[in-house]
Amino acid sequence: MSNYPPLFDEPHDHKKLEWAAFFTLFIGIVSTTVFSLYLSIKIQKDTLKEFSLQCDQIILKLNDEIQNNQAMLHSVAGFFTSTDNIHRQKLNVYADKIQLLNNKSRIKNISFTKVIKKNQIEALEKEAQAEGFTNFKIRPSGNSEILTPIRYALPESLVNLAVLGFDTSELMLI
Average pLDDT, the chain: 86
CA pair distance 112, 150, nearest whole angstrom:
6
Residues in Cβ contact with 115 at an 8 Å cutoff, skipping those fewer than 6 apart: 146, 147, 148
Dihedral angle sign, alpha carbons of residues 88, 92, 95, 98: negative
Q: What is the mean pLDDT of residues 148-162?
A: 89
Residue 86 burial (10 A CB sphere; 0-12, 13-18, 19+): middle
CA pair distance 168, 148, nearest whole angstrom:
5
Per cent of the chain over pLDDT 90 is 40
Nearest by Cα to 69 from 92, 93, 91, 102: 102
Name the pairing type of β-strands 150-154 and 110-113: antiparallel
- With a cut of 90, say whether residue 169 has pLDDT above it: no
- With a cut of 80, say whether residue 105 has pLDDT above it: no
Give, for 125, the enclosing helix (H) or strand (E): helix 121-130
The whole-number pLDDT of residue 32 equals: 96
The whole-number pLDDT of residue 68 equals: 87
- With a cut of 60, say whether residue 8 has pLDDT above it: no
Instruction: State CA 87 to chain mean position distance.
Output: 33
**166 vs 143: which has the higher pLDDT:** 166
